[in-house]
């Protein structure tokens, strides 16, 4: 598992600097926002695991940010940042679903302990979701509602990467919080690529994901020809991330690859 991504939301620059330095030294990938509005932009562009959220800010306050975060499936864990004078507000936020609260200024030991507990809670939530999916698909197979081959490859409900969130149960995909209108074929192609992130998936493998055993009978060139238009449309709908980098690249002679971080991908084919 890669580094956890943490978002610090506080309108005090000194607090953001202190928290960012401590968490970066502890090995986390840290993002910062000086307002609630800026936090929502960050949440749409990055896959955030945990949010350190100040309650009292100008403009959109912490409770309003919490309300927006709660709209997202598999939402990040929230740790409240509060001053002694506003502890009552922290209690209200905890009742709304906050994981923990820290009074400002907090000690490094308290900060790191709370963050680690919060991240453990998120890992448990992800594992629980995967377990529920496994149980549901097993039950469907036993009732004869799923082919054996489909049940044999039990997969997680959610796939996340670079601001994209794919939900297999609802058959939906969002980019930085905004829904993407994909066809069923485009959805299956993206799911197949995201579950094998940073690995080239051959044209034939993708054909099998779409057409089952029939796709397995195709030659590579046949599979590539069949996929060409679908992949072109999918890549066009996804576009690029905020840094201008594509989500999916074509590795010449091998297949297509979903890239988790632009800096790690090999030289792609641009066709």
Of 124, 149, 176, the position where a domain reaches its end is 124
Structural domain contains residue 220: yes
Q: What's the rounded Cα separation, in Å, for the pair 198 and 200?
A: 7
Q: What's the rounded Cα separation, in Å, for the pair 202 and 5?
A: 31
Q: Where are the beta strands (DSSP E) in the chain?
A: 5-9, 29-33, 50-54, 77-82, 100-103, 158-161, 164-167, 172-175, 178-179, 248-251, 255-258
- Residues 185, 86: one domain? no
The sheet carrying 158-161 orders its strands as: 158-161, 164-167, 172-175, 178-179
Q: Tell me what pLDDT residue 21 has.
A: 94
- Residues 11, 120: one domain? yes
Q: CATH number of the domain at 182, please.
A: 1.10.10.10
Structural domain contains residue 131: no
**pTM exceeds 0.85 for this model:** no
Low-confidence residues in the chain, pLDDT < 70 = 1-2, 72-74, 84-97, 129-130, 132-134, 136-155, 213-218, 262-271
Count up the domains in the chain and report the number: 2
Q: CATH number of the domain at 55, please.
A: 3.40.50.2300
Range of the domain at 47: 5-124
Neighbours of 229 (CB within 10 A): 10
Q: What's the rounded Cα separation, in Å, for the pair 172 and 149?
A: 23
Structural domain contains residue 270: no
Structural domain contains residue 137: no
Q: Tell me what pLDDT residue 260 has.
A: 81
Q: Output the six-digit token pair for 147.
A: 């082919």
Residue owning tokens 């709370």: 114
Q: Tell me what pLDDT residue 9 has.
A: 93
Structural domain contains residue 241: yes
Q: What's the rounded Cα separation, in Å, for the pair 61 and 249?
A: 40
């Amino acid at each position: 598992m890669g580094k956890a991504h943490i978002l610090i939301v506080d309108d005090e620059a000194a607090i953001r600097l202190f928290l960012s330095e401590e968490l970066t030294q502890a090995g986390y990938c840290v993002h910062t926002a000086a307002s609630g509005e800026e936090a929502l932009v960050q949440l749409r562009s990055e896959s955030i695991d945990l949010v350190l959220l100040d309650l009292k800010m100008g403009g959109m306050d912490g409770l309003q940010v919490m309300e927006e975060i709660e709209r997202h499936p598999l939402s990040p864990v929230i740790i409240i940042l509060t001053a002694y004078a506003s502890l009552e507000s922290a209690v209200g936020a905890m009742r709304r679903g906050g994981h923990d609260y820290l009074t400002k200024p907090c000690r490094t030991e308290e900060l790191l302990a709370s963050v680690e507990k919060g991240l453990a809670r998120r890992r448990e939530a992800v594992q629980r979701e995967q377990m529920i999916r496994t149980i549901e698909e097993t039950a469907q197979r036993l009732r004869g509602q799923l082919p054996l081959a489909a049940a044999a490859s039990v997969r997680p409900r959610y796939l996340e990467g670079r601001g994209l969130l794919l939900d297999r149960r609802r058959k939906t995909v969002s980019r930085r919080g905004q829904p993407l209108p994909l066809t069923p074929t485009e959805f299956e192609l993206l799911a197949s690529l995201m579950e094998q992130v940073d690995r080239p998936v051959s044209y034939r493998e993708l054909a099998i994901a779409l057409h089952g055993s029939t796709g397995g009978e195709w030659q590579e060139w046949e599979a590539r020809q069949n996929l060409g238009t679908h992949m072109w449309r999918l890549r066009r709908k996804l576009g690029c991330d905020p840094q201008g980098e594509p989500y999916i690249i074509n590795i010449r002679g091998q297949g297509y690859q979903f890239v988790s971080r632009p800096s790690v991908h090999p030289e792609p084919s641009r066709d």
